[in-house]
Structure 1
Amino acid sequence: MKLLVLISLVYLLGSTEALKVLVLYPYAVKSLSILGTGTVRHLLNAGHEVTYITVYPLKDPPTKNFRQIDISNNTQLLENEESLTIGYVLEHKVPRTDALQMQIFTMESARLTFQNENVKKLIQDPNEHFDAVVVDLVESEVFAGLAVLYDCPMIWLYSMGAHWQVLRLIDRATNPAYDPDYLSPANTPLSFLERVDELWSRVKWQYRKTFIIQPEERKIYEDTFGLLVAKRGRTLPDYEDVIFNASLIFGNEHNAVRDRPSTPQNFKYIGGLHIEEPVKPLPKEFQDLIDNSKHGVIYFSMGSFLKSNSLPKPLIAELLRMFGELKQTVIWKFESDLPDVPKNVHIVHWAPQPSILAHPNVRTFITHGGQLSSIEAIHFGMPIIGVPVFFDQFTNIKKAVENGYALTVPLSHDLPKDLKVAIDVMLKDDTFRKKAKELSSIYHDRLSKPGAELAHWVEHVVRTGGARHLRSPAWRVPLYQRLYLDLIALILASVLILATLFFYIVSSLFKKTPKKNNQKKRN
C-alpha cells in the first residue's frame, strides 16, 4: 500500500508540468506593479517559471524559477508631470481624465519598452520561448505581438472591472446606455444626458483609437516583431487579427460589486489577487500604536501614485488642525516630514496598508478610491470616506456610496471642513461598518481564492491550446449579420418591389378609365 501511494505521488508530480510564463507590467504606475507582483507570486507558488518585465524591480526577488528584467527607464514618461498631482487637480478643477492622453501614454510606454536594451536582448534571443504571455492591459494592445513572437496564448490582466474598451477585445462592445467607460464618473442607471455623454465619449474614443493611435501602434508592432518573427520562419500576422486574438482577460474586480455588465466566458474576475493571505503581521511600532489607541484609529492614504505633499501648505495645516481635534488616532501616509504635528496624528512615509485595515481597532479609511484600495476595503470589511481625484476613482467611490459603506468628500479648499463632517457621521453611524462587513462576506464567498483562480486559468489556457472553447461566438458573426443588415435589406427590397408593383397597377387603372369616359361622350 505504501509503495502504491508513493508511485501515485510520483506520477502526480511528474504529470504537473511547470510552465514558462512571461509577465509584463510596462507602466510607470506603482499601484499597477502591485498587481504585477501578486501575479508573479501566485504563478511561482503554483510551481511555474516566471520572467517578469517591470518598471519597479523587486528588491528581494525570489531565487528560484524567477528572472526579472528592469525597464525602470519608463518612469521618464511621467517625471515632473505636474498635471498628475493632487495640487494641480485641486487648483485647475480637472473634470475628467482625457482618454487620448491615456492612449498616448500607453503607446509611448510600449515604444520605450521595446527600445529598452534589456527587453531587446530578451526578444532577439532565438532560443527564448514561453508557454504564455500575461500583460497589464491599459489602452494599448501592441504588446500582443509578444504572443505572436513566442507562438503562445495571449492573456491580459486588467486592473479594473469589465468595461467596453476591454470587452471589445474578446467580445462585442456592450451598450453605452448601461455600460459607462472606466474614466466616466457616471453609474447606472444613467440619465438621458449621461447616456448621450457616454455615447459621444465612445464615438470620440473609437475615432481617436482608429485614426490616431492604432496606425502608430501598428508601426511599432511591425517594426518590433516583423524581422524577429521572420527569423523564426513565420509570417507576421496582420495587427487587427492579433489584437483581437486574446485567449483570456483577467479583471481585477470581485463578486460583491453590483451592476456589472455581462461578460464572455473568457473574462475571469480575480479581484483581491494582490492581497497576501494570511496578512503579514504589523511592524511593532504600528502594532503598539493601533493596539493602544483607546478611541480607535482613522487611516488616511491617497495611494501610491498620488502624493499628499502636493497639496497647498495652508490646506495641509488645516487638515492637521482638524485631525488634532479628534479623539481618534490618525495615521496619515504622507511623503515628507511635517512640523507642528498634533499628538494624535502620526505621519508615516510608508504604511503596510492591508495589515492596518485588517486590525479591528481601525474605524474608517480615508482614501482616493483607487481600485486596489477599494478592493482592500471590501476584503477587510472597512467603511471608507472617499476623496476621488481622477481616473476610475470617481466611479469606484460612487459605487461604494451606492452600496452603503462609504461617504464621498469632494477635493476642494474646503476639504478639512467637509472631511470633519464626514468623519463625524461615519463614527456615529454604525450602518456603514455593518454594510462593509456584509459586502465583505459576499466577497469572500467564492469557490477559490483569486490567486488559485489565476494559476488555474493560465494553466487551462495553455493545456487547451488557447482555450478557444471559451471564446465568444460573436467573433464569428460579421457586422452585417449582427445588425441584421441583410434582413433589413431584404425587407426594404420587398417593400420597394411591392410599392413599385402597386404604383404600376394603380397607374394602369387610371390610364384606362379616361378612355372609357371619352368613348361615352363621343357616342
Structure 2
Amino acid sequence: MKMNMHIVLYVLGAICCSGAYKILVVYPLPIRSLNILGEGYVRHLLKAGHEVTFITAFPKKNENNKNLRQIDISSNAQIFAGDNTFTIKHVMNGEVPVNDVKMLQEFSLACSTMTFEHENVKKLMEDPTQHFDAVVVDLYETEVHAGFAALYNCPMIWSYSMGAHWLVLRLIDEPTNPAYTADYLSSNVLPFSFKQRVEELWAQVNWCWIKWTNTTPKERAAYEKYFKPLIEKRGRVAPDYEELVYNASLIFGNEHYAFGNLPRTPQNFKFIGGYHIETPAKPLPEDLQTLMDNAKHGVIYFSMGSTWSSKDMPKSVIEGLVKMFGKLKQNVIWKFEADLPNVPKNLKIMKWAPQPSILAHPNCLFFISHGGLLSSSEAIHYGVPIIGIPIFFDQFVNINKATAKGYAVKVTLNYDLPKNLEEAIQVMLADPKYRQKAKELSAIYHDRPLSPGDEMVHWVSHVIRTAGAPHLRSPALHVPWYQKMYLDLAAGVILALAVVVVIAKRVFGMRKKEAMKEKKN
C-alpha cells in the first residue's frame, strides 16, 4: 500500500512539473518604469510555477525564490552618467531634442551593447549548458535581442511597453496605414486632418530611412559579433539577421481596448495592458491611510513618473505650485524627490509614493500625471480621471487620446504651469463627467475573460507547447511587398496595354501606307 502511494505521489509530482518551463526575461534599459513591466512578467510566471532568469538593471535585494535567477546589469545606468540635461527643466527650456528618432534608436542599441558586454550576461551566454524554453524581451527601437532566441533555439516573444504601433506590427504582420494610425511619438488623434496624415506618413518614412541606413547595419554587426560565434559553437548555423528579426512568435502590447483608437492586429499580437498591477492593491502605510481616510474634500495625487523628477522643475515653478496647492481645500500628495521646506498643511511630500494603492483609495479624486502608459493604465484600472502634463515619448498621444475619450484634461508643460494647472484642477473639480467617464472605461477594462497576468502566462505556455505557435502567424510576412501592392499585376497590365498600343500603331500604320498608295495610283 505504501509503495502504491509513493508511485501515485511520484506520478502527481511529475504531472505538476511537466508544465514548468525555463524562461529568459530580458529588460536591458536602465529605466525604472520599464523594469516594473519586467517584474510583472517575472511575478506571474513564478506564480505559475515556471523557472525564470531575469536580466535586469534593477535587481531586487533579498529575493529568495528558488525559481528565480537575477542577472544584475545595474551598471547599465552608467549610460546616463554625467548627462544632466535629461530633466524636466531642460525640456521646458528647449535644451533636449524631444522625440529625436535617430537618438532614440542609438540609445537603445547602446544599452543593448552594454548588456552583451556585461560580464554577468557574457557568462550566461557563453555557458553551453544553459537552455530556455522561451525568451521574453523588452522591445524598444532595436530588435538585436532576437539573437537570444537563435542562441537558445527557442521561441521569441517580444514585450512592447506601448500599444499596437506600426513599427512593432511590421515584425509580425505589416505596418498599419498612417492615414488612421498615429506614430507613438506623435500627438495626433483621430480623425486626422490632411496635414496630420502627411505628418504620420512622414513619420513612418523617416523612421524607416534612419533604421535602414543607420541602425540596422549596426544591429547586424552586433548580432554577428555577440551571437553568431556562440550559435556556431553550439553546432548550429546562425540564421541571417534580417530573417531572425521577423521570426517572433508573439508580441505582447501593454495596452487595452478601453483606451480606444486601436488598429487591426494579427492573431499573435496580444493586449495585456495592466498586467503589472498587483491585485488587490497593497495596503497603504498607516500615516497615508489615515490621511486619505480623513480627507473630507478628497485627495489629489501628483506624480511625474519614475523617470522624470519633479525636483528638477525650475525653482519658480515649484514655488508657484506649492503656493497654488496651498489654496485648495483638498489634500494633495506630491511625489517630490527632495526635501521641500515650508509646505502648506494640506500638501504631503513623498520621495516615493505607493501609486497604485493611492489610486485605489475611494477618496482619490484625480491623478495629475505625465501620461506614461503605466500611469495611464493604472488610472483606467482604478477609474481615476487624469490631468495630463506630457513631457516625452508616447505621453503626448496618450494624454490626447485620454482627452478625446473624455476622462482627462491636458496642460502644457511650461513656466505658466502653476496658473494653467490651477485652472485645470478647477475644471476637474467642477465637472463630474470626467470621473464618470473614467469609471465607464474602467468597467470596460475589467470586463475580460481572464486577468491580463493570467492571459500572458497562458500565451507564453501556448507558444512553448506549440513549438513557436506558427498557426498564429500572419501570412503577410511571406508575401513580397510588390505583390501586396499588386505592382506585378500593374506591370502586367501596363505591358499588355503597351503591346496593344504597339500592335495598333503598326496596323494603323500599314493601313495608312496602303491608303496613300491607292491614292497615288
The residue that corresponds to 2:235 in the other structure is: 233
The 3 A distance-change label for structure 1 pair 95 and 111 is closer
State the SS of the aligned residue for 2:259: coil
User: Which AA in structure 1 matches 2:131?
Assistant: H
The residue that corresponds to 1:258 in the other structure is: 260
State the SS of the aligned residue for 2:257: coil
Alignment of 1:41-52 (within 5 A): 41-52=43-54
1:415 aligned residue (417, 439, 446): 417
1:483 aligns with 2:485: yes
User: Partners of 2:288 and 2:417 in 1: how far apart?
Assistant: 27
The 3 A distance-change label for structure 1 pair 170 and 208 is same
User: Partners of 2:233 and 2:9 in 1: how far apart?
Assistant: 44
1:296 aligned residue (287, 298, 302): 298
Deviations 1:205-250 (A, max 9, x none): 1111011111111111011012211111011110001111000000
User: Partners of 2:423 and 2:381 in 1: how far apart?
Assistant: 26
Please tell me whether the aligned partners of residues 145 and 242 of structure 1 are also in contact (alpha carbons under 8 angstroms).
yes
1:385 aligned residue (369, 384, 387): 387
User: Partners of 2:60 and 2:252 in 1: how far apart?
Assistant: 23
State the SS of the aligned residue for 1:282: coil
2:330 aligned residue (325, 328, 331): 328
Alignment of 1:33-182 (within 5 A): 33-92=35-94, 96-182=98-184
Alignment gaps of 5+ in structure 2? none
Please tell me whether the aligned partners of residues 91 and 98 of structure 2 are also in contact (alpha carbons under 8 angstroms).
no
1:506 aligns with 2:477: no
User: Which AA in structure 1 matches 2:223?
Assistant: Y
1:349 aligned residue (348, 351, 354): 351
Alignment of 1:392-407 (within 5 A): 392-407=394-409
Using the size of structure 2 for normalisation, the TM-score is 0.97
Deviations 1:425-476 (A, max 9, x none): 1011111000000000000000100110111000000000000000001112
1:455 aligns with 2:457: yes
1:474 aligns with 2:476: yes
The residue that corresponds to 1:363 in the other structure is: 365
- Runs (4+) of structure 1 moved beyond 4 Å? 6-9
User: Which AA in structure 1 matches 2:473?
Assistant: R
User: Partners of 2:34 and 2:421 in 1: how far apart?
Assistant: 28
Aligned residues: CA RMSD: 1.5
The residue that corresponds to 2:376 in the other structure is: 374
Higher deviation after alignment, 88-97 or 41-50: 88-97
User: Partners of 2:78 and 2:229 in 1: how far apart?
Assistant: 28
Q: 1:517: Cα distance to partner?
A: 2.0
Q: 1:399: Cα distance to partner?
A: 0.6
Q: 1:62: Cα distance to partner?
A: 3.8
State the SS of the aligned residue for 1:451: helix
Using the size of structure 1 for normalisation, the TM-score is 0.96
2:220 aligned residue (218, 224, 229): 218
The residue that corresponds to 1:424 in the other structure is: 426
State the SS of the aligned residue for 1:181: coil
User: Partners of 1:11 and 1:217 in 2: how far apart?
Assistant: 44
The residue that corresponds to 2:246 in the other structure is: 244
The residue that corresponds to 2:320 in the other structure is: 318
State the SS of the aligned residue for 2:397: helix
The 3 A distance-change label for structure 1 pair 185 and 456 is same
Q: 1:187: Cα distance to partner?
A: 1.6
State the SS of the aligned residue for 2:85: helix
Q: 1:12: Cα distance to partner?
A: 8.5
User: Partners of 2:221 and 2:365 in 1: how far apart?
Assistant: 52
Please tell me whether the aligned partners of residues 20 and 132 of structure 1 are also in contact (alpha carbons under 8 angstroms).
yes
The residue that corresponds to 1:465 in the other structure is: 467
Higher deviation after alignment, 9-18 or 108-117: 9-18
Q: 1:335: Cα distance to partner?
A: 0.4
Please tell me whether the aligned partners of residues 37 and 274 of structure 1 are also in contact (alpha carbons under 8 angstroms).
yes
1:286 aligned residue (285, 288, 291): 288
User: Which AA in structure 1 matches 2:56?
Assistant: T
User: Which AA in structure 2 matches 1:473?
Assistant: P
Please tell me whether the aligned partners of residues 96 and 184 of structure 1 are also in contact (alpha carbons under 8 angstroms).
no
Q: 1:7: Cα distance to partner?
A: 8.0
The residue that corresponds to 2:445 in the other structure is: 443
Please tell me whether the aligned partners of residues 96 and 183 of structure 1 are also in contact (alpha carbons under 8 angstroms).
no
State the SS of the aligned residue for 1:87: helix
Please tell me whether the aligned partners of residues 85 and 95 of structure 2 are also in contact (alpha carbons under 8 angstroms).
no
Deviations 1:16-42 (A, max 9, x none): 421000001000111000000111000
Higher deviation after alignment, 74-83 or 104-113: 74-83
User: Partners of 1:478 and 1:410 in 2: how far apart?
Assistant: 44
Q: How many residues align?
A: 515
User: Partners of 2:81 and 2:399 in 1: how far apart?
Assistant: 28
Deviations 1:381-426 (A, max 9, x none): 0011000011000000001001110000000111001111110110
User: Partners of 1:479 and 1:92 in 2: how far apart?
Assistant: 40
Please tell me whether the aligned partners of residues 20 and 131 of structure 1 are also in contact (alpha carbons under 8 angstroms).
yes
The 3 A distance-change label for structure 1 pair 368 and 234 is same
Identity rate, percent: 56
Please tell me whether the aligned partners of residues 309 and 334 of structure 1 are also in contact (alpha carbons under 8 angstroms).
yes
User: Partners of 2:16 and 2:412 in 1: how far apart?
Assistant: 57
The residue that corresponds to 2:276 in the other structure is: 274
Q: 1:60: Cα distance to partner?
A: 3.4
User: Partners of 1:347 and 1:14 in 2: how far apart?
Assistant: 48
User: Partners of 2:64 and 2:486 in 1: how far apart?
Assistant: 55
User: Which AA in structure 2 matches 1:197?
Assistant: E
User: Which AA in structure 1 matches 2:506?
Assistant: Y
Please tell me whether the aligned partners of residues 90 and 412 of structure 1 are also in contact (alpha carbons under 8 angstroms).
yes
The 3 A distance-change label for structure 1 pair 14 and 59 is closer
State the SS of the aligned residue for 2:365: strand
Deviations 1:299-332 (A, max 9, x none): 0000000011111111100100000000000100
1:32 aligns with 2:71: no
Q: 1:54: Cα distance to partner?
A: 0.2
User: Partners of 1:82 and 1:190 in 2: how far apart?
Assistant: 37
Q: 1:279: Cα distance to partner?
A: 0.8
Higher deviation after alignment, 337-346 or 56-65: 56-65
Please tell me whether the aligned partners of residues 85 and 96 of structure 2 are also in contact (alpha carbons under 8 angstroms).
no
User: Partners of 2:258 and 2:18 in 1: how far apart?
Assistant: 33
Please tell me whether the aligned partners of residues 77 and 109 of structure 1 are also in contact (alpha carbons under 8 angstroms).
yes
Please tell me whether the aligned partners of residues 22 and 130 of structure 1 are also in contact (alpha carbons under 8 angstroms).
yes
User: Partners of 1:12 and 1:229 in 2: how far apart?
Assistant: 32
State the SS of the aligned residue for 1:104: helix
Higher deviation after alignment, 331-340 or 59-68: 59-68
The 3 A distance-change label for structure 1 pair 441 and 62 is farther
